[in-house]
Structure 1
């Protein structure tokens, strides 16, 4: 029996189609994030002028000095905006870090190393573990950034079909694991560098010496990826697999999705590249572990050390090394000049993000210069203190707010750039470390991503799904992903509160409270 003989997800859940339609129309009405930040800058200028004229100020809790709002619509404001435009961009915290990381990851991705590693990881697990394997690989796949969707979503369908299960289910599991678990990677990713840079800039509104490392949420991320993979596995077994519309069309085929199997040359290349990666990690560990290591900080500290400060470069080198070994042995690298060319392709792929960074960097610099962030953060923190609202309630409110915004603003860097300058200082004044606020953002930034048609990868996943179900639509895919996304968000939120209650560090040198 084909799927056309059974009710589709959109037929059983018509409200999803209506809700997704509203989201899509509202989201399409929003300007491109690049222009959104310039619009926000214009609004900021007007608000700063009004507040400056009214003499709005606040007493800084750090040094007890009065901080007065400055107007962007003034001579000083114009001079600042013009004179700092280049330096704002050049010194934007995530800029250099993300470029360095991407150069290494690009080599690993474009030589085929990441694809080969994912295929091997999925194809060699026992049949009963295929759901968990695809789900967990979805969280690991984020090292490839957006390419994770292109690589893993079709592989999910192949993996499920190979063990006699519905390829539709495989695509849904792979897509949801990537989208709604996007910020839970157990391996440091380019996003970690972006978020850490934005969080650092926001934290410096309160503390000029604040620094948030790209691995500041690493411990929490590892636990999150395992938990989310387990939740997806259970929900797939007890909910999604019970659906009657999981059969692929009779004429469906895998087309050019490829195969899970590697040829002899690819297997040899993967084996040696993994050995090279392991050897490099051992060498790094041997250098870092001794108390007198030059990569440690004062008094042998590892939490404030050159090692953690340079972790982005180390990650880039490790991925680059694995990619070079794999590419050389597999034939995707034929001469030394291919390596910088691959790095350049990675940077080219990131060009839209770098353009967005230019607008974000100006907005954040303007926000900091006006001191509106100080006023909002201090007054909000004081209001929360006097209202005696428990901090865990504040956490829930932050999660709810960011989750709603994420449905419309699916760019994580854009949303965090808007929210961080207010939320990070406000919660810091409530004795909540910036790393903890960033962990909250991770949950909200991921949870609703799998259900919103505003994400370009939602449309991409729908295209893969239609290879097996020609009648599938937006409501169909949303009805598949909705129960998974809800369960993942609830479980991830519960994990955060347990983590926070127990006081477990979120990462190296990053206390949760």
Structure 2
């Protein structure tokens, strides 16, 4: 699932099939899901509708004098009426402040400016081509799958770049290009939040988690964009391995992997880089390593200004400014690559590429405006704190093992993800309740965020509500014109299910062993 705006859909996408007894059960289910999802309003309007419902609920609960005793402060916290004079004054007077102070806002803009230069200069595309074209035939599945997890750094562009490349890579080694498209698409969609490289999504999720954690942890609560980094690295390797095994043991046995006889097959040469591009890629990678070495050398001394009090790394200027460092490294590689490859001809081209990246983020920034208001209103009413305290008490009294609670939350979020395919939107809805609720039973905010990552990704590859599902279907139809929604879903379903189960098992093992999720982020 992506947090960025929807990509362009292929021309004349196929109409969803009409449910009937003659259609396979999976095909009927996909059609029902698509129609139900299409009935939902745009996420921007959804959050304004939720704000209106929140106001009505707050008025009712305030009239009933609903309150709880905060376990943090020992003080009574009562629900405040958003429809009161005080509530209306707050809602109208703080709109700009809510938007400006929304935690992911500045972070995501800074990160995307750096990523935009790396992407639009051609560096990320060249890196992906090089990665999938230089591996033996026996490793092509793993290579494409792992490239899918790394490709998330390019956000929505990952689908546009890697999905057709997956088809080309498989065909180049004599395997089905249909299978290559399925592997590439599923690795991106159902493994979207498992990247070994920090991505814009990490900044968005961390910002929303921080805002939610403040409900239970006070204004000092903070979740870093790298809070799940260690878990993400292990997840990306595991998911690539799972995709490889399921492809070999299940998908390879299908009898419908051959493209149409009259399919317009692309030129294998599209995978190859020119001499100039290879030279540019080498220089960019060297620049990346040089940048990382310089940063490491600066941080190594215990007296480094980038370290925190007592030489700490977890709570330090380095972690506080990690988004800026990540943006700079992408900017550096993009400039070095573009200068050599010819995509950047003068210094003025760099801010233009940065501006194009921010322009691409415009739909997300518009959505952020609505989300920021909803979260601010939710926080002001204290409904989140009341729900969290009561839910935490219910959990304690139920005697349910925390692992069972994790599984129930994962199941609920996975089902919601089929309908609400915007990761930032779904997390903005769930985080204000789940994060403080689990914090009150000693589960860190970073752990709840890691659990959300699994649900946010797993079912994405099978839902036709994702615009990238339709895009992948368009690529698939280059090789099989008769392919429809059910065709693609039947290919991706075994991969998505296996990835979700394996990822969940990894999370539970991580929890059991008590391994930190990221720098300064204990799992429990």
Name the counterpart of 1:223: 234
The Cα offsets for residues 316-337 of structure 1, whole Å up to 9 and x where unpaired, read as 0000100000000000001111
Q: Quote the offset at 1:172 in angstroms.
A: 0.1
- Mapped partners of 1:75, 1:11: distance in 2: 56
Name the counterpart of 1:61: 71
The Cα offsets for residues 472-511 of structure 1, whole Å up to 9 and x where unpaired, read as 0000000000000000000000000000000000000000
1:334 aligns with 2:345: yes
- Tell me if the contact between 1:214 and 1:312 (Cα under 8 Å) persists in the aligned partners: yes
Q: Quote the offset at 1:293 in angstroms.
A: 0.6
Name the counterpart of 1:320: 331
1:33 aligns with 2:43: yes
* 1:121-140 alignment, distance < 5 Å: 121-140=131-150
1:307 aligns with 2:318: yes
The Cα offsets for residues 42-83 of structure 1, whole Å up to 9 and x where unpaired, read as 000000000001111000000100001100000000110111
> Out of 419, 435, 438, which is 1:408 matched to?
419
SS in 1 for 2:194: coil
> Out of 479, 494, 508, which is 2:490 matched to?
479
- Mapped partners of 2:268, 2:335: distance in 1: 25
1:367 aligns with 2:378: yes
- Tell me if the contact between 2:242 and 2:498 (Cα under 8 Å) persists in the aligned partners: yes
SS in 1 for 2:77: strand
- Tell me if the contact between 2:168 and 2:266 (Cα under 8 Å) persists in the aligned partners: no
- Mapped partners of 2:331, 2:91: distance in 1: 38
The Cα offsets for residues 242-273 of structure 1, whole Å up to 9 and x where unpaired, read as 00000011121334897110001000000001
Change (3 A) 1:337 1:256: farther
Q: Quote the offset at 1:401 in angstroms.
A: 0.5
The Cα offsets for residues 134-185 of structure 1, whole Å up to 9 and x where unpaired, read as 0000000000000000000000000000000000000000000000000000
Q: Quote the offset at 1:235 in angstroms.
A: 0.3
Q: Quote the offset at 1:289 in angstroms.
A: 1.2
SS in 2 for 1:206: helix
- Tell me if the contact between 1:295 and 1:305 (Cα under 8 Å) persists in the aligned partners: yes
* 1:163-242 alignment, distance < 5 Å: 163-208=173-218, 209-242=220-253
- Which contiguous aligned blocks of 4+ residues in structure 1 show a shift greater than 2 angstroms? 10-13, 253-258
- Tell me if the contact between 1:57 and 1:375 (Cα under 8 Å) persists in the aligned partners: yes
Name the counterpart of 1:437: 448
1:17 aligns with 2:23: no
* 1:272-287 alignment, distance < 5 Å: 272-287=283-298
Change (3 A) 1:258 1:30: farther
Name the counterpart of 2:12: none
Q: Runs of 5+ in structure 2 lacking a partner? A: 1-19
Name the counterpart of 1:90: 100
Change (3 A) 1:453 1:432: same
> Out of 343, 355, 358, which is 2:354 matched to?
343
Name the counterpart of 1:4: none
Change (3 A) 1:194 1:258: farther
Name the counterpart of 2:167: 157
- Mapped partners of 2:358, 2:38: distance in 1: 28
The Cα offsets for residues 391-431 of structure 1, whole Å up to 9 and x where unpaired, read as 11110010000000000000000000000000000000010
- Mapped partners of 1:400, 1:441: distance in 2: 10
Q: Quote the offset at 1:363 in angstroms.
A: 0.1
Q: Runs of 5+ in structure 1 lacking a partner? A: 1-9
Name the counterpart of 1:418: 429
* 1:113-124 alignment, distance < 5 Å: 113-124=123-134
Name the count of aligned residue pairs.
504
SS in 2 for 1:278: helix
1:298 aligns with 2:309: yes
1:71 aligns with 2:81: yes
Bigger mean CA deviation after superposition, 119-128 or 211-220: 119-128
1:398 aligns with 2:416: no
- Tell me if the contact between 1:406 and 1:444 (Cα under 8 Å) persists in the aligned partners: yes
- Tell me if the contact between 1:154 and 1:257 (Cα under 8 Å) persists in the aligned partners: no
> What TM-score do the two structures reach when normalised by structure 1?
0.97
